[in-house]
A = this chain, B = another copy of it.
Amino acid sequence: MPDLGPVLLSLHLAAVTTGILLVIGVPLAYWLATTQARLKPVVEAVTALPLVLPPTVIGFYLLILMNPSAPLGAAWVSLTGGTLSFSFSGLVFASAIYSLPFMVQPLQSAFEAVGRGPMEAAATLRASRLDAVWNVLLPQSARGILTACVLTFAHTIGEFGVVLMVGGNIPERTRVISIAIYEHVESVEYAEAHILSAGLLVFSFVTLVGVYALNRSYRLRVS
């Protein structure tokens, strides 16, 4: 029986990261979907950058950024008393950056697909922008939101390089399942690695099949 700690920690991390990215991603994606600004392609590129950089490199730079003597790290220390790196909060911060494109891109597509029409209709029915986003745009983007959350969740579970660098592989605190598997592989504990990997694979597979099957029935209902 493998240690369940890393599994729970991964699920916790993925859930928190997904939640936070949803909160950040919705306004960002909404802005990207509606803006005419010159800056738009630049912001789009920035949100896509985490795809391009090797995770360990991102992790390295985040580590430098979170160093308690660097501005961000120092600010965090003075705010919370603890360091950002090597803490769960740090993992969340790093994962959020790394998984950002997986949240923003599907959301943006979904919002663009809804278009201006329903939002304008809501505005002429006395709904403020916020009201319209909440009660019209989001419900109509349900499928896209689901996709975005699943991708973000999945990618955070699978994420490894950044977390290892920033989190420091501390049991119960930053040792997530992907690091645990990595460690088993590295220390020639292949049986344990196989068990954990298979578990992760089956879990992910079942989740994804569920989501895609749901997506499909969604699609059927709308057409």
Contact = CB atoms under 8 A, between A and B. Distances in A.
Interface of A: 40-42, 44-46, 48-49, 51-57, 60-61, 102, 109, 151, 154-155, 157-161, 178, 181-182, 185, 193, 197, 200-201, 204-205, 208-213, 215-216
Give the number of times this chain occurs in the complex, counting copies: 2
A137 B140 CA distance: 27
A57 B193 CA distance: 9
B41 A212 contact: yes
Contacts of A208: 41, 44-45, 48-49, 52
A212 B56 contact: no
B204 A157 contact: no
Contacts of A61: 197
A102 B211 CA distance: 18
